Amino acid sequence: MTRRTRGQTISDPDKITLDYLLVADGAQVVGGKLYLLGGGWDRLTVPQLPGRPAMPFSVAVGVNVPWSLTNRKMSFSIDVHDTDGGHVGQLVGGEFEVGRPTGLRSGTPQRFQLAGPAVPELPAAGRYVIQCAIDGEVIGHTAIEVMAASPAASG
């Protein structure tokens, strides 16, 4: 649930929220920091369709986990859907648990970050939605436009 206060949207303090969901040429999370190379793009050219990208790209996700939901296992998935809502494939999925480090002030939310490679099989040119779900509930998405490479001119 969200509410508005003086023009700002305030999220429910007991709900997981998406901080970011990015596509990039490369990404990794090390020591609580996101390292991103060529991030934030929204167009992908693949050699042929249907088909996979010539090189893997990366997906980076950061979610804010409220204090009340720490110390419990949750499932996550990053999936690709077409514009009709059809499931194209799962990029990554699994479980995570965010703890409460010693000395952390009571009530402080924790950030869970994940980055990994993606090489989805894309059926056709068009717009695709990459969505993040926690325990089966979609918490956010981004979109990319996919096109096939132009055939090389013969000469």
Supply the CATH number for residue 143's domain: 2.60.40.1930
Instruction: Give the mean model confidence (pLDDT) for residues 126-140.
Output: 97
Q: For residues 110-120, b (16+ Cβ closer than 10 Å) or e, as one string?
A: bebbbbbebeb
Confidence band for 21, pLDDT divided at 50, 70 and 90: very high
Instruction: Report yes or no on 28 lying in a domain.
Output: yes
The answer to whether residue 54 sits within a structural domain is: yes
Does 89 fall in a domain?
yes
Assess if residue 154 is contained within a domain. no
Task: Examine residue 50 and say whether the peptide bond preceding it is cis (omega within 30 degrees of 0).
Answer: yes
Total domain count, the chain: 1
Q: What is the CA radius of gyration of the chain?
A: 18
Residue 153 included in any domain:
no
Asked whether the beta carbons of 92 and 78 are under 8 A apart, the reply is: yes
3-state SS string over the chain?
CEEEECCEEEECCCCCEEEEEEEEEEEEEECCEEEEEEECCCEEEECCCCECCCCCEEEEEEEEECHHHCCCCEEEEEEEEECCCCEEEEEEEEEECCCCCCCCCCCCCEEEEEEEEECCCECCCEEEEEEEEECCEEEEEEEEEEEECCCCCCC
Residue 66 has pLDDT above 60, yes or no: yes
Q: Is residue 56 part of a domain?
A: yes
Max CA distance (Å), the chain: 69
Above 90 in pLDDT, residue 59? yes
Is 23 inside a domain boundary? yes
What percentage of the chain has pLDDT greater than the value 90? 81
pLDDT of residue 122: 96
- Structural domain boundaries enclosing 141: 2-148
Separation CA 125–CA 107 (nearest Å)? 46
Tens of pLDDT, residues 135-154: 999 999 999 999 999 876 55
Predicted pLDDT at 154: 52
Residue 118 lies in a domain: yes
